[in-house]
Structures are given as structure tokens and as C-alpha cells.
Chain A
Amino acid sequence: MPETFRDTESLCPVCLQKIPAQVVEEDGRVYLKKDCTEHGNVRTLVWRDASTYKEWGAWQMSFVPQQPRFIKKEDCPFVCGLCSEHLADTCSVVFEVTNRCNLNCPVCFAKSNEVNLLDPSLSKLKEELQAIVGNRGPFLIQLSGGEPTLRDDLPELISMIKNLGFKHVQVNTNGLRIAYEPDYLRKLKENGADVIYLQFDGLSDEIYRKIRGQKMLNVKQQAIRNCENEEMGVVFVVTLMRNVNFDQIGRLVEFAKSNIPTVKGLHFQPIAYFGRHPAPPQDDDRVTLDDVWKALEDQTAGMIKQENFVPEKVHPYCTFSGLFVLLESGEFLPISNYHRSLNECGCCGGPSPSEHWGNFISEYWRFRKDKEIEQIVGQDEAGSWIEFFKRSQTHYLTISCMPFQDAWTIDLNRLKRCCIHVLQENRLVPLCARYLTSTTGQRLY
């Protein structure tokens, strides 16, 4: 007997009209079901194992932005920016600094290179940032595009962002320019870039041919070496596709582990079907949040366990994350723990979940030298707690996952809890709304 977990709202994947929807359990799986009067029924898999769905969602909390820009609620998600109905504050701002790209990937949610506009000037970009800096900022800034490293003035832009008071700047890149131009990478670092968020889909050229349209493994490895030389932290961001690289998850963990302390994180993004993507998905193509944690356990022979991951409390169905310290023995010591975190109420003062997450990223995704830690705790001999503390602050890996919502899976209850926002014309638009496209390629934004 199907069970309805909750009623929500969604969009028709064909016409993008807002329509009622239900999250239901059927045959042990969780689906989003909806019915457009014009285009018919749609049922899409959103969670593989229904037995874990409710418990994971029990984390859900709400934090309303302090300065909502709009009061209207009837226009969600068509007038975002954020409004008073939004239930999360901003954690990270995606800042599109160019639409140009030096790749033409078959999979690209930004659909880069399709409309070639002139890059916005530094002064224009500054205006946009100034519009949000007082709105509960400063947030984490992700420089995105297009390929942001195509801008020769990116170092100056990073410096400007830091001078405006934003504490964390990450560069979302395919790695081409930083692989070929280490001097450019050095300038990024000297001007305040905190981490290279490196598109890294796997460990074979065949994977890159399928997802990026060309061989890239050597480029990725050179980019990592250059970052190592510059003591620049790297986070691998993996576009995860069922029949392309899903079986690479365990190998990616091992590879990331072998590149600690340069590599700080491994972040999985199951493919979302917006922008440029393969044919419309079947349920078997879907990679859900619980698919990824199960694969992490299966493909690492239990070295990593499901209980090592915790949700982000504003929107548990959008993400999980875990922290693992690499011991001298080569083993991982899991730090995050589902059961322990569940017992923390998180409501007794302190930062909001978005702020907590932002603080975590800005601390753990940047490269920290031994000397920086020594200045805090001093020097000590082998086998001491001081030595271990230093290691736990330099030799670790974060593992996280964030499945975006596309026109099939979009659940407005989830969207209202989004804390990853794209800066667009002085507004902060939830990422999934910003990039969502219909079956015919029509954009919501």
C-alpha cells in the first residue's frame, strides 16, 4: 500500500507550471508524484531506500533570512530573491563571473558557451557584491561561470572580494589553466583564493570523454601537483553518473586520501538533468543521496560507514557530509557521527546551520600549514596530543554529497530550504531554481 510521506508543490517538467505533488513510498522506494492537467502524470525516484527516508528528514530545522527581499509568497519559485517564505539563510553564494568556457562539456548545468556575453567588468561585479554584503553577509563566495579562470583579472577580483569582507573565496574550475599556468595559480593564491574546487570525475580518460568531451586525467593530475606546490587546498567535485563513474566512488576516496593534505574534500554531485545533459532520465539512471552513502560503504569495504555522515539541518534531503582524519597508520578516523549529532539540539544559541556549515567549509577546505597550527597550540614531541591535534587540522578529508533538483525532482519544500544561492542581478536565487530547465530547454531563470 503506497504511503504519502507529505504533500508539497513541484513544477511540470514540460511547461514549468506550478502543480501539487506528493512524496510517496511505493515498493520500498520514495517517489515524487505530480500531475499536470496539460502534460499528464510524472513519477520520479527521489530516494532509493524508503526505510531511511523519514529518519533522515527528522533533522529538518528552519531559519528564515534576516532580511528577506520580497514579501510575496504566491510567486515561489518564479520570483526568488529571497522572499519572506524562504526557510534558510545563505551559506554559499555562487558568483558567475563569465559565461565563457574552454570546454564544451556534454554535461553542464550552466550551459556555458551557448550565449557568449562580454564578461562583466570588475566595477559591475563589485556593485553586485555590495548589494548582498549587508544582507547577513559575508558569505562564502564560489567563483563560477562558465570557467572563471578565463578571466585574466580573476586575481584582482578575488582581492576585491576579500577587501569587501568575504572571508572565503573558492574557485570552481575545470583545472585547465591552473594545470598549464602555475604562475596564474600563484596569483590566485597571493590574492586570497582559499580553495580550488576542482571538477574531478574519475580516474580514467574514458570518464572524461563521456562527461567533459575530451581526455583530461593528465590535466587534473598536473593541476593537483601545481596546487601541492603552492600549498593550495583542493576539493574534488565529482559529477556522478550511474553508468559512467558511479563504480569509481571507492577509487576516488582512495585517490583523494593519497593526496592528503593537498586534497581537502571529495564532494559528489549526482547528475541533475538541467542545462546540457544526456537524454531525459529513467529512475534507474538516478543517483540519490542514499545511493551515494551506500556506495561509499560498499566500495570502501566498510572503511567508510553510513553512520559517519550527517545531514545539514536546514535541508537534510539536499546533503550529507563527513569528516575523516588520516592517522599516521594510514587509516581513517571518522570524526562525524550520525547518532551523536542527532542528539545535539542545535537550537541553543550559536550559529545557524547555514553559518555552521559555512564556518566548517572555510576552516576545513583551505590549506593550513603546520606552522599555523603550531602558533595556536605550540610545538611538542611525537606521540603527544599536540602532535595529534596538529595532524587532525592538516591531514583529513571531508566527504560530502549534494544532489541538485531538476524539473522532474524539484520539491518546493526543499527549494525553500536551499542555502546555496546564485547571485543574479543583485538577488540571491536558490541554485536549483537558477539552473532548472524544462524538457524543452526553457529556463526558469
Chain B
Amino acid sequence: MDNWQCFQCKESMLDDKFPVHYQGITRTIQGIKCPRCGAKYLTEDIVVKIVNRQEKALEDK
């Protein structure tokens, strides 16, 4: 993921899949990770497309 850099380490973030826990459910999600410090982020695209929809669905909103 060349477009993102870790704010602290200035390293280019890498694509990664990692587990996310929510409402007692654990599943993997596509995100980005700093190869040096291990900080993990979700991109806006994933948040809008998946996280927001899943939150609404899981909380019956």
C-alpha cells in the first residue's frame, strides 16, 4: 500500500488481513499495517463499505 505511510515510523504501510472483534464475533478484515511498529488501520473504503454496513446490521439500526 504505497499511498499510506506510518505517521510515527514513516514506513510505507503494507496490505494485511487481521482479526477484528465486534459484538462477540471475530472475523478477518482487509487493512493496512506498519511493518516496523505494527500499527494497523482500516482504509476509508473498507470502513464505509463493510464496517459501517455491518455495524448497522448487527445493531439493527
Chain A residues within CB distance 8 Å of chain B: 310, 323, 333, 335-337, 340-341, 376-378, 380, 383-389, 392-393
Contacts and interface: CB of A to CB of B under 8 A. Distances in A.
Interface of B: 17, 20, 25, 27-30, 49-51, 53-54, 57-60
Contacts of A376: 49, 53
A383 B57 CA distance: 18
B54 A340 contact: no
Contacts of B60: 310, 323, 335-337, 341
B51 to A, nearest CB: 8
Given A340-B59, A376-B49, A384 B54 contact: no
B27 A383 contact: yes
A92 B57 CA distance: 23
The 10 closest A-B pairs by CB, nearest first: A385-B27, A385-B29, A336-B60, A384-B28, A335-B60, A388-B27, A389-B54, A392-B57, A384-B27, A385-B50
Given A376-B53, A378-B49, A387 B59 contact: no
A333 B24 CA distance: 10
Contact of A386 (B25, B50, B58, B59): B50
B50 A393 contact: no
Contacts of B54: 385, 388-389, 392
Contacts of B53: 376-377, 389
Contacts of A386: 29, 50
Nearest to B51: A385
Which secondary structure dominates where chain B touches chain A?
mixed
Contact of A333 (B20, B25, B30): B25
Contact of B27 (A310, A323, A377, A387): A387
A409 to B, nearest CB: 29
Choose among A376, A377, A385 the residue with the greatest number of B CB atoms under 10 Å from its CB: A385
A351 to B, nearest CB: 11
Contacts of A388: 25, 27, 54
A377 B49 CA distance: 6
Contact of B57 (A335, A340, A341, A384): A335
Given A376-B49, A377-B50, A378-B49, A385 B28 contact: yes
Contacts of B28: 383-385
A384 B49 contact: no
A386 B50 CA distance: 7
B53 to A, nearest CB: 6
Contacts of A310: 60
Given A377-B49, A383-B28, A389-B53, A335 B20 contact: no
A335 B27 contact: no
Nearest to B59: A340
Contacts of B50: 377, 385-386, 389
Contacts of A384: 17, 27-30
Contacts of B59: 335, 340
A378 B20 CA distance: 18
Contacts of A336: 60
A378 B50 CA distance: 9
Nearest to A350: B61
Contacts of A377: 49-50, 53
Contacts of A333: 25
24 contacts: A310-B60, A335-B59, A335-B60, A336-B60, A340-B59, A376-B53, A377-B49, A380-B30, A383-B27, A384-B17, A384-B27, A384-B28, A384-B29, A384-B30, A385-B28, A386-B29, A388-B25, A388-B27, A389-B50, A389-B54, A389-B57, A392-B57, A392-B58, A393-B57
Nearest to A389: B54
A313 to B, nearest CB: 13
B48 to A, nearest CB: 10
B20, B49, B60 — most chain A CB neighbours (10 Å): B60
Given A376-B49, A377-B53, A385 B20 contact: yes
Contacts of A335: 57-60
A395 to B, nearest CB: 12
Of A323, A340, A384, A392, most B-chain CB atoms within 10 Å: A384
Contacts of B25: 333, 388
- Residue among A310, A323, A380 with the most chain B CB within 10 A? A380
Contacts of B20: 385
A333 B59 CA distance: 11
A31 B59 CA distance: 35
B40 to A, nearest CB: 14
